Chains A and B, each alone.
Chain A
Amino acid sequence: MEAGHSVPKSQPTVKSFAKTAAKGFNVHVNDKYYAAAFLGPSLLILGVFVFYPMVRTLYLSLFLTNNVGRPTVFVGLKNYVSLLTSAAYRASLTATGFYVVGVVVLTLALGILLAQATVQKLAGIQWFRTIFSATMGVSVSVAAIFWLFIFSPSVGLLDQIAAFFHLPVINWLTDPGWAMVAIIVSTVWMNLGFTFLILFGALQMVPPTLYEAADIEGASKRYQFWHVTLPMISPTLFFTATVTLIGAFKSFGLIDLMTAGGPNNATNLMVYQVYKDAFLTGNYGMASAESIILALVIALFTLLQFKFLEKRVTY
């Protein structure tokens, strides 16, 4: 592309040239001033709060730091090596992996179920659509409080139900395995409103003629779901999966409120580990290395998503 005075995006016409000539200047000469004014604020903010901190985090991750976060001794990749060989950090990675997979699979499965349940034509179906999208209006603290009560020992709903049926009581938040289940369930519930809305939108876009044709050919509903519905919504499904996945990698609030990473670090997910190392123990170098690992993982999945977006845009 030529610099400074390239042609307009749409095909230039004799008329527009004439107009420009009549004005006596090229309309694009001013563009760089407009660009500076229009884009400047965004560049400044992104530079200070997104670019610089990434570079700085990378830099800090190569150092030992003092208690106010200033780098002291250059140690190269040592922070990374000690992280990846530490049983505690590997446990945090494993816990994160387990959590992310659990959240993504359950969110998508239930999201499809809810969306599929509301594409049918029934009187009052609009009400169910509104209800199913409701958790989109729930913030992380509210979700944590509602579920804390459900999972809380003795007074909580689940323990009461267990007591009523004389079932063994489960220590939802103090048993390492069940605490993970508890935060997965809470996260999935919180995700469902958004996932439902997106998938419902996708299902509505599937041309009804496809189902009519399948009906005529005698395909069962189950067959139609696997061979018509799923392929048709697969781009949206992929989009939803990556959004959910990236969100799950960034989870912090629910963990902080419900388990504080416990019990026994069973729910000590990646972001919580960064927070603990940086802001509770003041180990900024290590926390920076953990941040870089987190950023790499998320960047990888965001790239995947871009690839998909690109495809869709050219389509």
Chain B
Amino acid sequence: MPSVASSATRLFNGFFEWFGSLGIFSWQVLRAAVTPPYEWRELIRQLDEVGSKSLPLVAMAGAAIGVIISLEARYSLSRFGAKSMFPATLVYSVIQVMGPVITGLVVSGRVGAGMGAELASMKVTEQIDAIEASAINPYRLLAATRILACILMLPLLTLATDACALLTGWFAQALVEPLSFHQFIESGFSGATFNAFLPQTFKTTVYGLIIGLIACFQGMRTRGGAAGVGRAATNSVVLASLFLILADVVLVKFILVFFP
């Protein structure tokens, strides 16, 4: 019994310790980020890493999602005799839900794992200590640039996903029955408002923040050699995806309340 109690206590301690460390880490990164000098060269490298290099992946994911929704929606809608609602169904489901979430998950997999592993190996090979010794703030150079790159690039990647999904969705529909792209867009966006679309797209900055923060945090607190690197990579992907989905619950409610 004492062993169970003590292990439970340890688990709780570990849980709160993790959140506490994350809070301290966030504060240090924020403080480092807002004070000069700014690491522009590293930021551009990270923007390219997160943004342009993720584009093929999210584009393909988006294309696949477009086809999937197109096929599913056509089947369900024709059962209810509401086939004319098809463009609107596709546009709304892609832009409001599928686009942001799929982009977030794909980017968290690719970027989160990459960042976690990179920073963890730097940590275990004591490169981070070396940077710190050469009077450069590793939070500013390594963490702030990566996190900012994620925050900036996620909405743009989401737009790319949306565009690809709508194109392939329309294409999949047009193969079955004739539907001009213009008609598709006209009908799909009828009754569309900015409140329905812009908040949904730009909430992915929060996804970017979560992905970057957790990946950097997990990477920079790694201990214990090669095994630690692997663990850090896995943890950053899993935790980033989990928190992303959880954050979405709050974000959706927030958007519905403030952007009706």
Answer yes or no: do A and B interact.
no
